[in-house]
């Protein structure tokens, strides 16, 4: 998609719209060709680009780590094995520092969350128009919606945070029992005489966990994507703005490396902390 063929407003809107598949108003199923049409598809619509890139990047993570596992040697390790061992050691240190219980699932989960989110965030470093233009060329639809950063879609971030939330609920009940979990929600912090206030405070605290996880990741990545889009608009403003845009794009990309890594780390760390809290019993 070229910024010269659209107004600035249309260019921004186009890059912020997902490729959505669902049931149209006339009862047929297909891809939405406008934001209004995507909205009409309702809850069961699927953002094809978000799902597609999430799966592809997840498989990419599994492929390289599986390849490193098959080629692992006790001798002089290769570059891929060195990298994988460094990442595993980093995750292991993070889990040991934040998780006080005993659960063999937590470290693999933390590894998966960190690398999967990092890879999805890293798609933001690709030039903003390359993959959308390639998709438009392949399909023959010059106005095809195609977002390549899954974490700029709240459906993806809420999907991951809700999965973590269900794990927190599961281990809370498993470790404390139904009575212990309900007691934790109703008897803290003011004791049995403050039950309504306890339930309100603890209930809000519980629900805030998945909401904050999802919105923090989405908000930071959405803002970063918006800045890249605004910088891309400068390339259609003449030679001076084109040079300035190139410098700004490089500078923001370098800074954005820190953001994509930090957001993956924060999501992973909070997941570990929430699971640690679910394993702790209060008396």
Q: What is the mean pLDDT of residues 156-175?
A: 95
pLDDT in tens, 204-261: 999 999 999 999 999 999 999 999 999 998 888 788 888 998 899 999 999 999 999 9
Closest CA to 159 of 10, 33, 47, 32: 47
Q: Which residues are catalytic?
A: 212, 216, 220
**Cα separation, 168 vs 187, whole angstroms:** 19
**Cα separation, 246 vs 7, whole angstroms:** 20
Please report the DSSP string for 110-174 in residue order. Answer: HHHHHHHHHHHHHGGGS-TTHHHHHHHHHHT-TT------GGGSHHHHHHHHHHHHHHHHHHHHH
pLDDT in tens, 5-49: 568 888 888 889 999 999 988 889 999 988 889 989 988 899 999
CA 232 to chain CA mean position, Å = 23
Q: Is 74 helix (H, G, I), strand (E, B) or coil?
A: coil
Q: Tell me how crowded residue 225 is: count the other CB atoms within 10 A of its CB.
A: 21
**Cα separation, 64 vs 51, whole angstroms:** 20
The pLDDT of residue 257 is: 94
| Residue whose pair of structure tokens reads 């470790």 in the numeric block | 175
Q: Is 47 helix (H, G, I), strand (E, B) or coil?
A: strand
Please report, for the chain, the start and end positions of each structural domain, with discontinuous segments joined by +. 3-279
pTM for this structure? 0.91
């Amino acid at each position: 998609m070229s910024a010269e063929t659209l107004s600035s407003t249309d260019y921004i809107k186009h890059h912020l719209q997902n490729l959505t598949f669902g049931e149209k108003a006339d009862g047929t199923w297909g891809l939405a060709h406008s934001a209004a049409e995507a909205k009409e598809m309702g809850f069961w619509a699927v953002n094809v680009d978000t799902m597609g890139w999430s799966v592809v990047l997840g498989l990419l993570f599994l492929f390289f780590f599986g390849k490193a596992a098959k080629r692992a040697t006790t001798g002089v390790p290769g570059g891929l094995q060195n990298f994988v061992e460094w990442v595993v050691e980093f995750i292991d240190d993070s889990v040991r520092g934040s998780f006080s219980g005993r659960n063999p699932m937590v470290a693999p989960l933390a590894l998966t969350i960190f690398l999967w989110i990092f890879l999805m965030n890293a798609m933001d470093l690709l030039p903003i128009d390359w993959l959308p233009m390639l998709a438009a060329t392949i399909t023959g639809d010059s106005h095809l919606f195609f977002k390549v950063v899954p974490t700029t879609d709240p459906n993806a971030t809420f999907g991951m945070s809700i999965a973590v939330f269900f794990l927190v609920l599961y281990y809370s009940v498993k470790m404390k029992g139904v009575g212990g979990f309900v007691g934790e929600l109703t008897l803290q912090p003011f004791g049995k005489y403050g039950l309504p206030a306890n339930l309100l405070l603890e209930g809000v605290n519980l629900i805030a966990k998945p909401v904050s996880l999802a919105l923090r990741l989405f908000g930071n990545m959405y803002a970063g994507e918006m800045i890249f889009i605004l910088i891309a608009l400068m390339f259609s403003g003449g030679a001076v703005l084109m040079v300035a845009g190139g410098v700004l794009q490089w500078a923001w990309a370098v800074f954005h490396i820190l953001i994509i890594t930090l957001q993956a780390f924060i999501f992973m760390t909070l997941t570990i902390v929430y699971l640690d809290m679910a394993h702790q019993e209060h008396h």
